[in-house]
Amino acid sequence: MFLRTILNTAHRMVYPFLSTFARGLGVDISTMSYLMVARSLIGATSPFFAPIADRHGRRFGMLTGFAVFTLGVGMVTIYPSFYTLAIALMLAMLGKYMFDPSMQAYFGDRVPYAQRGTALAITEFAWSAAFIAGVPFMAFLIGKYGWVAPFPMLTVLGALAFIVIWKIIPREDPHHERVTDARAGYRAVFAYLPALAGISIALWATAANEMVNMMFGVWLEDSFGLKLAALAGASAVIGISELSGEGLVAFTTDRLGKPLALAIGLITNAFASLLLPFIGKTEIGALVGLFLFYITFEYVLVSHIPLMTEVVPSARATMLALNVTGHSIGRAIGAFCAPIIYRHFGFTYVALFAVAFNLAALIALTRMQRK
């Protein structure tokens, strides 16, 4: 959970401070949104690296992920510019998407399916920890030292995380039998309709989330003139909502069953999306709406992961990496569409698109269960 908080802080700090980074670099929001699209599409390459954890072991996959992450954020530390920031965001995303499936497969190998929702929910607390602690701390650094300040700190933390993994994860892994043919894992996933339906759930649900993710900071600034400290406070509110969502998953998903919990999450997130622009006419209402939106999305996300760990057990890391690809494509769709829709139609239509994407995910879940 602690190691993932480092990765997730680097991932999440861009959203509330999108305008801050744009001003610091002398570019507009549209340029930054294209950078976010490129970052998301980089995540779609994760299947090319998925066999690393299946072939060379979970430890190797986790170490490689943090090495790539640290290299990326270190580049901005050495030479801050738009281009090094672009490379850093892409390498940080790639490192995260190498680490996460390796880590999830590591737990999938060890924890029985009946308890796996609780175990993985604990690691997912890193998402809320990033918003509760990580992003506000980065806001403090930005306010005191400028937009570059988070990157030296992330470089040091990335190096420490690499050392921690090196020390605590055993070299020999009796729980995992390494595969020799990486293509067999791809064939097992692509030939199995429930696996493809599960990946599409990740795509549509994440597209819905990214629509709001991309624009909530801009929306709060445009609507209420909120500045850096207030945006950091909004991030903390979102972090608390996600912490609540992860706690709900830990206590309920294994009891309800993963598919039912996921369906409940998708339906409630669609309602929260619909509600957001109507109650968001005041600062308090906007924060309450964001709380409801993020708690329900976190319930979707954390219910979905343990379900996917058992769809193709013979190629668990490959399956989870392809699931990450679904998330990446969904983020790219949301990051591309959100600024255009917001600019031309306003935040209400951003929220309506989020509802539509959630309904598409619910249809995919129905199809998955049927098979």
Helix, coil or strand: residue 79? coil
Q: What is the pLDDT of residue 152?
A: 94
Q: Can you tell me the distance from the alpha carbon of 275 to that of 334, in angstroms, rounded to the nearest whole number?
A: 19
Q: What is the pLDDT of residue 176?
A: 56
Q: What is the pLDDT of residue 163?
A: 95
Residue 144 contacts by C-beta under 8 Å, 6 or more apart in sequence?
none
User: What tokens appear for 241 in the block?
Assistant: 């909502």
Q: Give residue-wise pLDDT tens across range 21-38.
A: 888 888 887 788 778 777
**Residue 313 carries which DSSP code?**
G
- What's CA 16's distance to the chain center, in Å? 15
Dihedral, CA atoms, 20, 22, 23, 24, nearest 10 degrees? 80
Helix, coil or strand: residue 39? helix
Q: Give residue-wise pLDDT tens across range 255-268.
A: 888 889 899 999 99
235-247: b or e for each residue (b if 16 or more CB lie within 10 Å)?
bbbbbbbbbbbbb
Q: What pTM was computed for the model?
A: 0.72
Answer for the pair 328, 334: CB distance below 8 angstroms, yes or no.
no
Q: Can you tell me the distance from the alpha carbon of 347 to that of 335, in angstroms, rounded to the nearest whole number?
A: 14
8-19: b or e for each residue (b if 16 or more CB lie within 10 Å)?
bbbbbbbbbbbb
pLDDT > 90 fraction of the chain, expressed in percent and rounded: 25
Query: What is the mean predicted confidence (pLDDT) over 235-250?
Result: 73
Q: Domain map of the chain by residue range?
A: 2-165+179-370
pLDDT of 107 over the 90 cut: no
Reported as a pLDDT band with limits 50, 70 and 90, residue 124 is: confident
User: What tokens appear for 34 in the block?
Assistant: 């294209």
**For the packed helices 182-190 and 316-345, what is the interaxial angle rounded to 10 degrees?**
60
Residue 129 contacts by C-beta under 8 Å, 6 or more apart in sequence?
1, 5, 8, 239, 243
pLDDT of 121 over the 70 cut: yes
pLDDT of 146 over the 70 cut: yes
CA distances to 129, 243, 277, 283, 335 from 349, rounded to whole Å, are 30, 28, 9, 19, 14
Task: Please give the residue that has the higher pLDDT: either 80 or 174.
Answer: 80
Most confident by average pLDDT, 238-252, 276-290, 335-349: 335-349
User: What tokens appear for 335 in the block?
Assistant: 């990051």
Q: Can you tell me the distance from the alpha carbon of 334 to that of 329, in angstroms, rounded to the nearest whole number?
A: 9
Q: What length does the chain have?
A: 371
Answer for the pair 303, 258: CB distance below 8 angstroms, yes or no.
yes
Q: Can you tell me the distance from the alpha carbon of 114 to that of 41, in angstroms, rounded to the nearest whole number?
A: 33
Q: Can you tell me the distance from the alpha carbon of 137 to that of 301, in angstroms, rounded to the nearest whole number?
A: 25
**Ranges 124-128, 172-176, 366-370: which has the least confidence:** 172-176
Q: Where are the alpha helices (DSSP H) in the chain?
A: 2-12, 18-25, 29-43, 46-49, 51-56, 58-78, 82-110, 113-129, 135-145, 150-168, 182-190, 193-224, 228-256, 258-279, 283-309, 316-345, 347-370
Reported as a pLDDT band with limits 50, 70 and 90, residue 6 is: very high
Q: Give residue-wise pLDDT tens across range 185-232.
A: 778 888 889 999 999 999 999 999 998 888 877 777 777 665 555 666
Q: Count Cα neighbours of 361 within 13 Å in the Cβ-side half-sphere.
A: 33
Q: Give residue-wise pLDDT tens across range 147-184.
A: 899 999 999 999 999 999 999 988 776 655 655 566 77
Q: Give residue-wise pLDDT tens across range 84-103.
A: 888 998 899 889 888 988 88
Q: Can you tell me the distance from the alpha carbon of 238 to that of 127, in angstroms, rounded to the nearest whole number?
A: 10
Specify the CATH number for 2-165+179-370; select among 3.30.70.360, 1.10.10.10, 1.20.1250.20, 3.40.50.920.
1.20.1250.20
